[in-house]
Chain A
Amino acid sequence: EAQVTQNPRYLITVTGKKLTVTCSQNMNHEYMSWYRQDPGLGLRQIYYSMNVEVTDKGDVPEGYKVSRKEKRNFPLILESPSPNQTSLYFCASSLRAGNSPLHFGNGTRLTVT
């Protein structure tokens, strides 16, 4: 089944403890992206990747890192999480960066205390 898989679905952690949210797609998509969704603010892009070894900042990249060493994987790294990073995170991918629709993962609800 064609899908974007994120893990974990739920995560509670403490301030400063490094964490990684994994994202993997099995559709051979070139474009991958991370969004966070907060009430009243909608979906905001954190980072995106046009292809392997190519990543770029979105609208809210502060406090996050990403890597794209393989086409299928695009992990999101929080080196030192803070409470303002408590949010619902979505990974998404599309065939290319043009008019291809995004396929979203099921989301990761992160709470930082």
Chain B
Amino acid sequence: GQNIDQPTEMTATEGAIVQINCTYQTSGFNGLFWYQQHAGEAPTFLSYNVLDGLEEKGRFSSFLSRSKGYSYLLLKELQMKDSASYLCAVKGYSTLTFGKGTMLLVSP
């Protein structure tokens, strides 16, 4: 099975940079996803990493270290609309297991 750990809550200021960490222990690894979920809405896909390194997509970047069982999501130039829950999810052979999510609050 998989065990995924991420902080419960984080706060940051508009315009700043924030890093959300995710650590995992897994018996099988086929990639790591990050999703964003606004309150009362469905999760939406942000990024996917399967090889070590950094993937950049506009203001969002995601990093993976398979040897350390570690990933982070980096959000730059924070905007108020980035206030949401960020879900780390680890892909096994056929199942996708989600962490409990990190609630990010962006303040003016």
Which residues of A approach B to under 8 Å, CB–CB?
33, 35, 40-45, 48, 50, 56, 58-59, 90, 97-99, 101-107
Contacts and interface: CB of A to CB of B under 8 A. Distances in A.
Interface in B62-101: 87, 89, 91, 94-101
B94 A101 contact: no
B31 interface: yes
A58 B95 contact: yes
B107 interface: no
A45 B96 contact: yes
B44 A33 contact: no
A87 to B, nearest CB: 14
A48 B94 contact: yes
Given A42-B99, A42-B100, A98-B30, A104 B44 contact: yes
A97 to B, nearest CB: 5
Contacts of A58: 95
Contacts of A90: 42-43
Contacts of B42: 90, 104-107
Interface of B: 1, 30-31, 33, 35, 41-45, 48, 50, 87, 89, 91, 94-101
Q: Which of B43, B44, B50, B87 has the most CB of A within 10 A?
A: B43
A42 B101 contact: yes
A61 to B, nearest CB: 12
A43 B101 CA distance: 9
Given A48-B95, A90-B42, A43 B87 contact: yes
Given A40-B100, A99-B91, A104 B50 contact: no
Contacts of A98: 30-31, 91
Nearest to A109: B40
A99 B50 contact: yes
5 contacts: A40-B100, A48-B94, A99-B48, A104-B43, A106-B41
Contact of A50 (B30, B35, B89, B94): B94
